Amino acid sequence: MKTDEISRAVDVALASVFNISTTEVPHDMSHETYEKWDSAAYLMVIFTVEEQFDVQFSTEEVERAMGRQELISELSTRLSS
């Protein structure tokens, strides 16, 4: 899966969790930049992405994926191996 496809899919997951449109998902969205991104929402993001991509993140991957870009990076790495 290409990075742009992963990016679009992550945007869909984020939009779903935060009840916004995909066009409203900021490029730099993270727990630091998006007020509604609390620990409960973060878990929903992780669960949604794991289900969507049929993967299960390790604790280390979850700790690294604290924002949109990091999540895309972790998925790109995971799906390319």
pLDDT for the residue 16: 96
Residue 80 predicted with pLDDT over 90: no
pLDDT for the residue 68: 97
The model carries a pTM of 0.89
pLDDT for the residue 1: 79
| Nearest by Cα to 68 from 37, 78, 21, 55 | 37
Residue 14: pLDDT band with limits 50, 70, 90: very high
* Gap between the Cα atoms of 72 and 56, Å rounded: 14
* Gap between the Cα atoms of 74 and 77, Å rounded: 5
Residue 81 predicted with pLDDT over 80: no
Catalogue all structural domains in the chain, each as residue range(s) with its CATH number.
3-80 (1.10.1200.10)
Place of tokens 């995971």: 78
